[in-house]
Amino acid sequence: MDVFEAVSTRRAIKKFDPNHKMSSDDIKRLMEHVILSPTSYNQQNWRFVYVTDQEIKEKISEAARGQAQPKDSSLVVVLCGDMTAWKTNPVRYWKHHPPEKQELVKASLERKYSKDTQAQRDEAIRSCGMAAQTIMLAARDMGLDSCPMVGFDYDKLANVINLPEDHLIVMMVVVGKRTADAPKRGGQLPLNEVAFENSF
């Protein structure tokens, strides 16, 4: 499947086959591609809790206000942002580059994030958003479907996954085999209403 086909056929699927399982190799393949998603300064500030255990998926469904997608899917990926990634041994983000580059990035991260918790939060949300799209498109390439989800009780889900205090839950994406197609698209706005060449 090429990228354009993956984009055009990706839908937010609501009904999954609860008997379908992903192999550990398939999960590893998916996650190895997800961590190639871009992040500012390559700080890799996303953290992924991927869930295959049925009991935990049931708890996630409860936290998601009873929605069935988490418990019926093959895999739940909770995307979280590490708000301290910018300062946690940052030279490792450029380990294949000269020390001067590593120190330059370290200083830039310090300048941008050390006194701005909103910037830390915004960056985590941006990073997780890009990673979520990677999950959904990679799943399509694997012949699977997905559903991005933000409809859940934050505190309950944080408790289920034992979220560290300096982390933020951004969203989750469930992956599995659909049992029902998504309904017809609601309707995309015309391109000329949302895309402007050179300026508004």
pLDDT of residue 163: 98
Over range 55-71, report the average pLDDT.
Answer: 98
DSSP string, 90-148: GGGGGTTS-HHHHHHHHHHHHHHHTT-HHHHHHHHHHHHHHHHHHHHHHHHHTT-EEEE
pLDDT of residue 1: 87
pLDDT of residue 184: 93
Tell whether the model's pLDDT for residue 141 goes beyond 90: yes
Helix axis angle, 117-141 to 24-34, nearest 10°: 130
**What topology is assigned to 3-86+117-180 in CATH?**
NADH Oxidase (3.40.109)
**Could you state, in order of their start, the residue ranges of all structural domains in the chain?**
3-86+117-180
